Structure 1
Amino acid sequence: MKRLIYLSMLVLTACGGGAKEGADTTAAADSASVSPAFMAGRIHAMEDSIFEKPAFDRRGAVALLDVYKAYAKAYPLDSLAPEYLVRAAGIQRNLKDPQAAVDIYDRVIRDYPNWPDVVACYYQKALIYQDDMKELGKAKQAYEEVIQRFPDHTFGKEAKVMIDNLQYTDAELIDRFRKQNEQTDAQAAGR
């Protein structure tokens, strides 16, 4: 019951709820009427509020991150828990904390191995190692794990390409893609 009250208060505080609203939600939590659906609705409203702003709302993002994590802690068996954790990882990445994002992806992989979108967690880890952390050895290992576990999935196939491209700098990749496009255009013009 304490975690429901805490989660309710966290969402209301993050959404900017006033004292009266917080008191109403606490009463609702005390009567055991706070459900995952109610909390998901509050999270959705919070997302709408944050994403309607033209500029990045760091404070709002941090609050949403906390709410996502609190939801997964309060309702670990709910089908939205892994989805909210993945969204939390995305926020961590946008907040320039790639290791925290990797840690959350690892949590989803560990706690929800049969979740239909778990492959994206493996792939996102590899991208973070490559792009954000510049740890190409770890990126290669992570891509290899995607290939091993999901060889027929789109991410498994894409991971093979990503490994091949790890050896190139960004400038070299741009040059390679430009040349490939020129060759494709020349072949198309020759038809």
Structure 2
Amino acid sequence: MRSRNFLIVILLLGSMACTTAAERIGQIEQLEIAMFDKDKKFDEDIARDLMGDYEQFAEEFPEHEMAPEFLDRAANIARQLKEYERGLENYQTIVVRYPDFEKIIETKFLIAFMYDVELKNKEKAEEKYKAVAEQYPDHVFGKNAKDRLVTLHMSDEELIEFFNQKNSRQ
């Protein structure tokens, strides 16, 4: 009897472990429906489950076309939950594993932005903004990074003066 129960548990675990990418995407879509139901308030528990599922999918199916998109979504949820280190880790994974991701420039900019605004690490933010500005000078995120480098170390008073001068010139 005991060995029979053990066998059932092993079979169940095995069947759960052999989930296909399509099945995992279906599970994720169900959580997304629950998460983004407009009649409900933001549910932190569902958000955490969804974030974990996105990350797990990318880990289980790293070559799947949805892997970088799911990591991006996981990073966005992490930011909403104020889990900035986790969000940053997901963005950095995208940069390393998926350099051809369609949102790679935005991802690199968001890394700089997170160091700047959310983690308050101006030195690291400066390094990341410089990289984006140099690599993508003609892209909107490259231009935004260049603009942010000008104001990054300004005090609130200096920022007010800077923008007042800028607005008076226009």
TMscore range, shorter length: 0.7 to 0.9
| Structure 2: stretches of 5+ with no match in the other structure | 1-10
Residue pairs, 1:100-111, within 5 angstroms: 100-111=86-97
Number of the residue aligned with 2:27: 42
CA pair 35-178 structure 1, distance change in 2 beyond 3 A: farther
Is the deviation greater in 31-40 or in 52-61?
31-40
CA RMSD in angstroms comes to 2.6
Residue pairs, 1:125-144, within 5 angstroms: 125-144=111-130
CA pair 164-46 structure 1, distance change in 2 beyond 3 A: same
One-letter amino acid of the counterpart of residue 75, structure 2: A
Residue pairs, 1:26-175, within 5 angstroms: 30=15, 34-52=19-37, 54-170=40-156, 172-174=158-160
CA pair 179-124 structure 1, distance change in 2 beyond 3 A: same
Q: What CA deviation, in whole Å up to 9, does each residue of 1:67-125 have, x standing for no partner? A: 00111111110110001001111111122121221111111111111222111221111
- CA distance in structure 2 between the partners assigned to 1:123 and 1:156 by the alignment: 8
- CA distance in structure 2 between the partners assigned to 1:139 and 1:48 by the alignment: 35
Share of identical aligned residues, percent?
Answer: 31
Give the secondary structure class of the aligned counterpart of 1:55: coil
Give the secondary structure class of the aligned counterpart of 1:134: coil
- CA distance in structure 1 between the partners assigned to 2:22 and 2:113 by the alignment: 32
| Structure 1: stretches of 5+ with no match in the other structure | 1-25, 185-191
- CA distance in structure 2 between the partners assigned to 1:50 and 1:171 by the alignment: 41
CA pair 66-31 structure 1, distance change in 2 beyond 3 A: closer
One-letter amino acid of the counterpart of residue 20, structure 2: S
TM-score by length of 1: 0.71
Give the secondary structure class of the aligned counterpart of 2:96: helix
TM-score by length of 2: 0.79
